[in-house]
Structure 1
Amino acid sequence: MKKVSLFLFIFMLGVCAKSYSQTTPPADFFADKWEVTIMGTPTGNSVMIAELARKDGKLTGTLKDPTGTNPQALPITKVEEAEGKKITIYFNTEQAGEIGLALEKVDDDHLKGMLMSMLESTAVRVKK
């Protein structure tokens, strides 16, 4: 009987430790580094790194080319937040002017949405 009790105690202790050791998302969910993939562009899938930070209560940041082909970071002109689960990132392009990338939270590390309401897009949190 002692062995069964000891086994159950160790098992319950392990279950409790596992539930407390889960990682929690950051307090400011969107303020982080995200790898954004835009599918179906004329040149194929496009990948950018969005670095978002909160300054004076508003999200701001840059978009960077991870391949290094375009070393110039593209500034984000504005970010609109809605309901704490959706954001729209606006940036200027030479060809189309200011365009918006709407993204919605899927889980703690993934976003999905559309660029200009036409091109499917996803974002994955870059692990540090």
Structure 2
Amino acid sequence: MKKLSLIIGGLLISLLSLNANVYAQSPADYFVGKWKVVIKGTPNGDANMILVLEKKEDSLTGVVQDESGNEITKIDNAELGVDTATFYFNAQGYDVTLELTKADEDHVTGNLLGMFEAEGERIITPKQ
């Protein structure tokens, strides 16, 4: 009887953890949307950009825009970790990497090229 209780308990715990994993948000889901990102301390001062990201299968794709919404470049590749995303794109003739890490639901921190600090905030558009 004791073994039966342990087996049933183990099965119940397994089912609950499986159910939690099915509904867990993928890293791509977190980063989808528009993000205002500030790169601090570049030789030309702080740089502002907008990332417009969308989910394609289990990855991300998108564009980099200036503050007025004009497209600067397309994102060539995105690598996703648990709470991080690394974006690869070309800016002013240079291959650039931007790594962002989830800080909370609407904020990210990170770096550009491993040298310049980056901070970002999700752009939330009011629903009509």
TM-score (norm 2): 0.71
One of 72, 84, 87 as aligned partner of 2:85: 87
What is the rounded CA distance, in whole Å, between the counterparts of 1:42 and 1:73 in structure 2? 19
Q: Structure 1: how far apart are the matches of 2:84 and 2:47?
A: 21
- 1:54 matched to 2:55: yes
Match of 1:78 in 2: 77
Structure 1 gaps of 5+ residues are 1-25
Tell me the C-alpha RMSD between the 2 structures: 1.6
In the superposition, the TM-score normalised over structure 1's length comes to 0.71
The residue aligned with 1:64 is: 65
| Alignment-derived partner of residue 120 in structure 1 | 117
> Which is helix-richer, 1 or 2?
2
Task: State the secondary structure of the residue aligned to 2:67.
Answer: coil
Give me the whole-angstrom Cα distance separating, in 1, the residues matched to 2:40 and 2:98: 12
The correspondence of residues 26-65 of structure 1 with structure 2, limited to 5 A, is: 28-65=29-66
Percent of aligned pairs sharing the same letter: 36
Which whole-Å deviations, capped at 9, do the CAs of 1:27-58 have from their partners, x for residues lacking one?
71111100010001111110000000011322
Structure 1 residues 74-117: Cα deviation after superposition (integer angstroms, max 9, x where no partner): 1001110011x001011112342x11111111000000011111
**Residue pair 2:64, 2:71 contacting (<8 A) in 1 also:** no
In structure 2, how many angstroms separate the alpha carbons of the residues matched to 1:93 and 1:127?
Answer: 26
